[in-house]
Amino acid sequence: MKKRPTVPASLLLLLLSGFLAVTACQKKAKPTEQTQVLPQRPTESVSSAESVASPATTYPMAADPVEAVVTAIRQEFARINAAPLDSLTKPFRCDTDGTVTFYSAQGRVVKVVIDWGFLGDGTTTSEYYYQNNKLIFFYETYTGGPAGLPETTNDERIYVRNDKAIRFLKNHREAPCSPCTFARTSRPYRILNTFNGGDVEAALCQQ
């Protein structure tokens, strides 16, 4: 009877070690877990404050309130001078002979023109404009000059709101106002009150 070949002990030990190692690895290995991909929510809108910064919207600066009032006064000035108005002229005498002319619409004065006559080296004309019996514009011109020299014209314009000067122009240039306020006892209001009767000279001849 033939003998089976003897397997060396060292080879058996090596095979056994390999088998045990493979078995151990299989026990430790776990099935791969599949990650479930959930559907994402639709992108939610965010407020502008939370959004990515973008160039700021540039808004036009608010109009200068003084300029807006001045523009409105100029429009009223043009309207008054283009309107068909009733007129009433009264003479007076202060340092020289002069006249005051009231321009009215439906019995309400909107403009007064004072021709102060020739005094010294020239003549002065004052114009007052009113809206709802309130002074809104003062315009005064002086024309003349020393004898033998060319005649010159100087003017002053005062834009008025709530009886206070908001802009003063002297020969078309801005300057410190003079006067700056117009009380009810000031000349523009004194002469206004003489439209329906009153002493024109008393209203005009005092400062």
In a domain, 182, yes or no: yes
How far apart (Å, rounded) are the C-alpha atoms in residues 108 and 104? 5
More confident residue, 36 or 5: 5
Look at residue 41 in the predicted model and tell me its pLDDT.
37
In a domain, 177, yes or no: yes
pTM: 0.67
**How many structural domains does the chain have?**
1
Choose the weakest-confidence range: 75-79, 109-113, 116-120, 187-191: 116-120
Report the pLDDT averaged over residues 23-37. Answer: 46
How far apart (Å, rounded) are the C-alpha atoms in residues 97 and 114? 11
Q: Which domain holds residue 120?
A: 88-205
In a domain, 129, yes or no: yes
Using one digit for the tens of pLDDT, what is the confidence trace for 122-171? Answer: 899 999 999 999 999 999 999 987 777 788 889 999 999 999 999 999 99
In a domain, 193, yes or no: yes
* Residues paired with 118 in a beta bridge: 123
More confident residue, 15 or 60: 15
In a domain, 149, yes or no: yes
In a domain, 68, yes or no: no
- The answer to whether 136 and 148 have CB atoms below 8 angstroms apart is no
